[in-house]
Structure 1
Amino acid sequence: MAASLFILLAVILAFAGGGGPWMLIATVAAATAAGTRLPDLDTPLQLQHRSALIHSVLPFYVALLDNRTWPVAAGLGFGVGFHLAADLFPTTMRGFATIKLPLVGSIGVLPSYLWIGINAAANLVGAFILLERIAPHQVATAALAAIGVLGAAYLFRAQGGLYALTALAGIGWLIVR
């Protein structure tokens, strides 16, 4: 439910909020909050748990269809990327935790790890590149600060999130170095 409300807010901000820097930051932040919960909508949408449709880069690409929603796409990329990073560290990767393809079912343990890892990286990298493209450097930096706070808050609470937060912090440190 929270994902639906945050995505609605992000889309409203994107279409009606104007083009100022604070609106862009608010739109990306709201979409990031939505993205952290979006993959959990698989069950209410009558999809199998860990459906490949929303545990992927598909929501990011759908939001790219209209250039007015590119800030929403960037936020979704970050949020879904954070969610998938936490999904890389389940208690056990079998049954309920594996990725399910529509009409096929589970893809298995190793392919599930690969699917989640590749899609987490694609979401995060795509979101970063898009944010750098749509926002001036100072605005992108402020948006990244807000996204970092939201991502850390989500990962502190999510199962496997502390491992994901450590891995993402390590990757970030290597990039900066």
Structure 2
Amino acid sequence: MDAVLFLLAAAILVALGDRWPILLPAAVPVAALAGTTLPDLDMALGLGHRSGLTHSMLPVILLASRPRWWPVAAGLALGIGLHLSADVFPNAMRGFATVKVPGMGSIGRGGSWTWLAGNALAALAIGTLLLRRIATVRMTAAVLAIVAVIGTAYLFVTDGGWPALLVYGATGWAVVRRRPTG
């Protein structure tokens, strides 16, 4: 339920961004907070735990199709990426921990690791790239620093958090440090 409230707050910031543009990048960390718990809405929606619909980039893709919602999509991507990164490191990848595709069931241990890791890395890349489209370099760095604090706090209390924090942080650093060629 927290995810829905944070998404609503991020949407309000985007709506107010027409009048006060500084609120657009401020929507990113709020949406990132939503993304850290949004994938687990699958249980409230009756999809079963680790549904491939919510534990994926699908919510981000839906939002990213409209440039107005890029701040929310960027934050949601970063938050979902944090969540999925932690899910890559369960105590055991079986049963409850595996990804389920509606109508098909579990995609198994190897498929689940691939699904979660691939979507986590895609979320990080897309979130960072969308953020760079809506904010200056300095603002991007500031927002990513805030999201890093959120991510550290989230992963500190989540199973699988420390290995995920290392992998996600290293990948994030590589994406941000990427230099255009040519």
Classify the TM-score, shorter chain: over 0.9
Kindly indicate whether the alpha-carbon contact (under 8 Å) linking 2:25 and 2:131 is maintained by their aligned counterparts in 1: no
Question: Given the superposition, is the C-alpha separation of residues 19 and 137 from structure 1 closer, same or farther in structure 2, using an over 3 Å criterion?
Answer: farther
What is the distance in 2 between the residues matched to 1:58 and 1:89?
21
Matches within 5 A, 1:14-53: 14-18=14-18, 20=20, 22-53=22-53
Deviation at 1:87, TM superposition (A): 0.3
Report the residue type matching 2:27 in the other structure.
T
Q: Which residue of 2 is the match for residue 74 of structure 1?
A: 74
Structure 1 unaligned residues grouped into runs of 5+: none
SS in 2 for 1:118: helix
Q: Which residue of 2 is the match for residue 10 of structure 1?
A: 10
Q: Which residue of 2 is the match for residue 135 of structure 1?
A: 135
Deviation at 1:25, TM superposition (A): 2.9
- Deviation per CA, 1:122-162, whole angstroms, max 9, x where unpaired? 11001111111111111111111111111111111111111
TM-score by length of 2: 0.91
TM-score by length of 1: 0.94
Report the residue type matching 2:150 in the other structure.
L
SS in 1 for 2:44: coil
- Deviation per CA, 1:30-84, whole angstroms, max 9, x where unpaired? 1000000000100001111100001011111011122111000000010000000
Question: Given the superposition, is the C-alpha separation of residues 19 and 61 from structure 1 closer, same or farther in structure 2, using an over 3 Å criterion?
Answer: farther
What is the distance in 2 between the residues matched to 1:129 and 1:19?
24
Report the residue type matching 1:128 in the other structure.
T
Question: Given the superposition, is the C-alpha separation of residues 170 and 141 from structure 1 closer, same or farther in structure 2, using an over 3 Å criterion?
Answer: closer
Kindly indicate whether the alpha-carbon contact (under 8 Å) linking 2:25 and 2:134 is maintained by their aligned counterparts in 1: no
SS in 1 for 2:151: helix
Q: Which residue of 2 is the match for residue 167 of structure 1?
A: 167
SS in 2 for 1:80: helix
Structure 2 unaligned residues grouped into runs of 5+: none
Deviation at 1:173, TM superposition (A): 5.4
What is the distance in 1 between the residues matched to 2:16 and 2:138?
23
Q: CA RMSD in A?
A: 1.6
Report the residue type matching 2:117 in the other structure.
G
Kindly indicate whether the alpha-carbon contact (under 8 Å) linking 1:15 and 1:68 is maintained by their aligned counterparts in 2: no
Q: Percent identity, please.
A: 49
